[in-house]
Chain A
Amino acid sequence: MSPEHAPVVEAVGLGRDFTVREGRFPRRRRRTVSAVRDVDLTVHPGEIVGYLGPNGAGKSSTMKMLTGILTPTSGRVRVTGLDPSRERTRLASRIGVVFGQRTSLWWDLPLWDSLALTRHLYRVPADDHARRLAELTGVLELGPFLSTPVRQLSLGQRMRGDLAAALLHGPRLLVLDEPTIGLDVVSKSTIREFLLRLNAREGTTILLTTHDLGDVERLCERVVVVDRGGIAYDGGLDGLRASVPAPRVLVVDLAAPAPPIEVPGGHCTRVEGPRQWLELSANPARVISEVAGAHEVVDLTLREPGIESVVAALYRAGSPSAV
């Protein structure tokens, strides 16, 4: 395979055990906990992959192993053909990493200085840098705050600055850990559109972990769901919906507020004045006729399960299922 088509990320049987100490001094015991178990993951050039999972599922440990911060205890991993833990420094100039909850910019320096430093640290030729900086400044609208110290930037501005710093050296792979956490709706959408454009125009491969399912629905054609260290699902977003039987919801507007409706095959989950939400476990037609028989119904809508409830159901199911 030519390098352009070789996988960007290739992990086979990747695992990471931690030794934890328990109890107080004389009775202290050591126990081994697997944060990541037997993860197989292949990411091809140009893909955008969402890496989802509840807190403590091993997402950040996996990201740390892919970026060379953490050494795996088992398995084999190659990122852009390099072994991250052995060739961390070489790998660093091929990938861009953004941790959403903490900045990799220099806190007390103006953003411009951080970006200029990045050029030297990554040894980007001056004219390449100037071109890319101009481009990123335009797209991410960095202009107004380039000379502001990073600590004074808003979260959204800082995240844009972080993205610029991670992309100035033209990485093949962009690893994002919670890129939209804590951002307002406008900033979130700016960043999502930017990432889509980056992926489309430059073919940059993007691997992101997120809790924001809006990110997933807008950005990812492929999602990987991890739970308790192992992979619970790997495939398209549609497949994910089909794989987990998440209930459909019937929204009923009654003529007047009423106590929560309970009918065979319909269970009330939420009441807001005259409006009620019924989780369906049977044929909607039957439930509708039951409800209409007992109450005066003004309006009805049937909602397909959102990606949120699908993922929630997947986490609840626990054990690795449909792959």
Chain B
Amino acid sequence: MAETHAPAPERLAWTLRTYVRLAWTWCRALAQYPASLLLLTGMVVLASAAEMGAVAIVFGHAGTLVGFTVFEGLLVYALAATAFGCADLLMGSVERLGQHIRTGSFDAMLVRPVSPLVQLATDGFSPRRLGKVVPALAVLAVSLTVCDIDWTVSRALMLPVLLASSIALCCAVWLAASCTQFVATDAREAANSLTYGGQALTEYPLALYGRGIVRAVTFAVPLAFVSWQPALYLLDRPDPTGLPAALRWAAPAVAVLSCVLAAAAWRSGLRRYRSTGS
């Protein structure tokens, strides 16, 4: 057993390796029942198709909605679905925190020399969640090609940065929302109103919700940076709700800040748990 006080980069690398190792073990265990895994993955793909279909139907009836055509609407949908799908894949299991606390398995995580967050996030890691990510990426690719985007070098370089920011932001939302279960262990659904609700909200161009909501999800819970601001940047369009165009460059900073806040929420939740023992 190595009790190292290793420097931070080394500790981070080890944490990531542990994450991959745990996730891989779960994948192998699930692969023992390939039929069930395929069925469940198929269902997730169909569910994504249904959601996408709903967006297509709405835009199909409307023609254009707040200035967005069908494919521009699908671009917004695809950015949101990719970000939330990846966050669900990487961090989705965190929402079962309350259940782990109730059954005592969270205590078992605390007596292992690995961050309980890594153990929680990988618990029940399932490749079926790729069934959300892959269709979303496909729609993203199609809408990026079909939409009238002025592909400058900076835009091409910003795309992966924006995607990474969106994913990080969604992970932060997921974690922060799940931390409420440190206080109320059976309130998983309250977190869902932020996670799944956040996804439902960001699947459409935000302008259609009105200025009040756009400002709230820009400055209070920064969901606007998941799909709306990136879409405005990619389509090079002025913000129809009148917010400054400079905001669209803030996505990476917002993502980092959200992750810091979510980490703080996790730490304080953990401290609270360890001082109440629930």
Tell me, yes or no, whether A binds B: yes
Residues of B within 8 A of A103 (CB): 108
Q: Contacts A69-B107, A70-B275 hold; do A113 and B29 have CB atoms under 8 A apart? A: yes
Q: Are B29 and A110 in contact (CB under 8 A)?
A: yes
Q: Are B277 and A69 in contact (CB under 8 A)?
A: yes
Q: Are A92 and B21 in contact (CB under 8 A)?
A: no
Q: Contacts A92-B112, A97-B111, A99-B107 hold; do A113 and B1 have CB atoms under 8 A apart? A: no
Q: Contacts A93-B3, A99-B104 hold; do A117 and B25 have CB atoms under 8 A apart? A: yes
Q: Are B25 and A109 in contact (CB under 8 A)?
A: yes
Q: Are A102 and B105 in contact (CB under 8 A)?
A: yes
| Interface secondary structure of B, over-half rule | helix
CB-CB contacts of B79-104 with A at 8 A, as 1s and 0s? 00000000000000000000000011
Interfacial residues of chain B within 1-38, with CB under 8 A of chain A in the complex:
1-3, 18, 21-22, 25-26, 28-29
CB-CB contacts of A265-280 with B at 8 A, as 1s and 0s? 0000000000000000
Q: Are B111 and A69 in contact (CB under 8 A)?
A: yes
- Tell me the complex Cα distance, A88–B270, Å: 12
Interface Cβ pair total, 8 Å cutoff: 85
Residues of B within 8 A of A102 (CB): 103-105, 108
B89 to chain A, nearest CB (A): 18
- Tell me the complex Cα distance, A103–B104, Å: 9
A94 in contact (CB, < 8 A): yes
A124 in contact (CB, < 8 A): yes
Residues of B within 8 A of A97 (CB): 108, 111
Q: Are B275 and A71 in contact (CB under 8 A)?
A: yes
Q: Are A123 and B2 in contact (CB under 8 A)?
A: yes
B114 in contact (CB, < 8 A): yes
Q: Are A71 and B274 in contact (CB under 8 A)?
A: yes
A141 in contact (CB, < 8 A): no
CB-CB contacts of A95-120 with B at 8 A, as 1s and 0s? 10101011110101110010011001
B269 in contact (CB, < 8 A): no
Q: Are A68 and B108 in contact (CB under 8 A)?
A: no
B208 in contact (CB, < 8 A): no
Q: Which B residue sits closest to A85, measured CB to CB?
A: B274
Residues of B within 8 A of A113 (CB): 25, 28-29
B1, B21, B276: the one contacting A117 at CB < 8 Å is B21
Would you list the 10 A-B pairs with minimal beta carbon distance, nearest first? A104-B108, A92-B113, A93-B113, A97-B111, A93-B1, A102-B104, A70-B277, A123-B2, A109-B29, A69-B110
B residues neighboring A (CB under 8 Å): 1-3, 18, 21-22, 25-26, 28-29, 103-105, 107-108, 110-115, 124, 271, 274-277
Q: Could you give 29 example pairs across A and B, Cβ below 8 Å? A: A16-B277, A61-B277, A70-B274, A71-B275, A85-B274, A89-B115, A90-B113, A92-B113, A93-B113, A94-B3, A95-B111, A97-B108, A97-B111, A102-B103, A102-B104, A103-B108, A104-B105, A104-B112, A108-B124, A109-B26, A113-B25, A117-B25, A120-B18, A121-B113, A122-B112, A123-B1, A123-B113, A149-B29, A169-B1
A residues neighboring B (CB under 8 Å): 16, 18, 61, 64, 67-71, 85, 88-90, 92-95, 97, 99, 101-104, 106, 108-110, 113, 116-117, 120-124, 149, 169-170
